[in-house]
Amino acid sequence: MLQRSIIQGRGFKNTHANGSVSGFQFQVRNPNYRGVAACLIDGIEISIAGVDYPFDAALWTIEGITYTLDELRQTTDVRWSLDEVATITITKPGGLPAGVHELSVCIFIRRSYIPAQFSRSPFREKAKVVLVSDGAFDGPKLAVSTYSYSGDMYTIMTLEDVMADIADIGATGIEILGEGNVPHYPNPSSAWRDEWFRLLAKYKLTPTNFGAWVDTAMWLSRDLTIEEGTAQLRKDITLASELGFTSVRPKFGVTSLQLDPHPIWKDSVLGSLDLAEKLGIVICPEIHSPTPIKHKVTQEYIRFIEDTKSDKFKLLIDTGIFQTAPVDDGHEGIEIKNGKRPPFLEPLNVPMADLKEIMQHVYFIQAKFFEIDDNLHDLHVPWAPIMQTLKQANWQGWLSSEYEGRREPYRGKDQVRRQHALIRNLLP
């Protein structure tokens, strides 16, 4: 599915030739109201990073074949359809630096049914686009949670769009929400399962963490029993395994604003460890603001790990616990009451020393963030010390982007690109 803007968010990257960076490219959709013969394309003016490129400087890739403008003008059997992007490539030794760039374009299309002196129609647009470094690095494996695209997913983006975006930034893992992303959960059709694995293969993505819930307060009249909680967790472990995931985050209902889990959590996990062992699934409760690492909830999880000696129960760290500034620009489903923010939006500012102490118990990290500006500065989460801590611990697990900021259309996908540009810049 194409973005409505002429300049597409996906596809902006440096190009390589003969072992070096040779230029950059981006994608545009056909701005006309109908598809056109490629011979009617009359160039594209480009301005980016302080440099203007004339209308005939770019190479055009349409239907998988690359042309100069003069070659396009000579074609007789090539068309630029409305549902197909064109890839625009500019030769520039060294390419562009990773980060946010302001890109201006003017696409010219000749209208064959209008007198020649009026037929060259300009289509102009300006947009901020994000280039993510594609260099090799050593460190955590990079993934993205589908939660980052909430509001866009299933309205203006398909599951395939999300997967294509994740692959486009060089990430190799996908994290999903079971009840959010699996149609007819918990019993998806065989056709959907086949499509899921087809898309994983197409975009070379690995299933990472499966987000699940144990809704202890589901019934108005009573809480879930241990047996019911165990059955729910076992159901999610089974489905996660069938879909290729290696961990499950069971969000048990809580009994306090400090996120104390419902008392059934321990017995429900104990009743599921045998299945987790059999299927190779790690159960990962989430350490989420406003619960710090040095808190009875986190410490009880660690005692459980030590008591059971199971390698199928580990911690999931949400980086919102390292937040250093409050989030005041809006949050879905949350209201500020009496001028007071919900506790989980307040900066907890957990010190890196606390993370270092428990790294041996950390299996998965959700890279929670709210906003990254045009200079790749995160306004709330301190990525440099976080990444330094992970590198010092030689942690090689999944670091999964989880955008939780404002939900204007396409904002999530843009912010995820910014976060990956930022994180990749911090990796060797």
Annotation says 288 is catalytic = yes
Residue 236: helix, strand or coil by DSSP?
helix
Look at residues 390, 406, 410, 389 and name the one whose alpha carbon lies nearest to residue 398.
390
Q: Is there a contact between 46 and 12 (Cβ–Cβ < 8 Å)?
A: no
Give 140's strand partners: none
106: left (phi over 0), alpha (psi -120 to 50) or beta: beta
Is the CB of residue 384 less than 8 Å from the CB of residue 426? yes
Beta bridge partners of 130: 100
Which stretches of 110-252 are DSSP H helices?
Answer: 159-168, 178-181, 190-203, 226-242
Q: Which of 288, 295, 331, 420 is catalytic?
A: 288
Report the alpha-carbon distance of residue 308 to residue 271 in Å, rounded: 12
287 φ, ψ (degrees, to nearest 5): -95, 105
Catalytic residues: 288
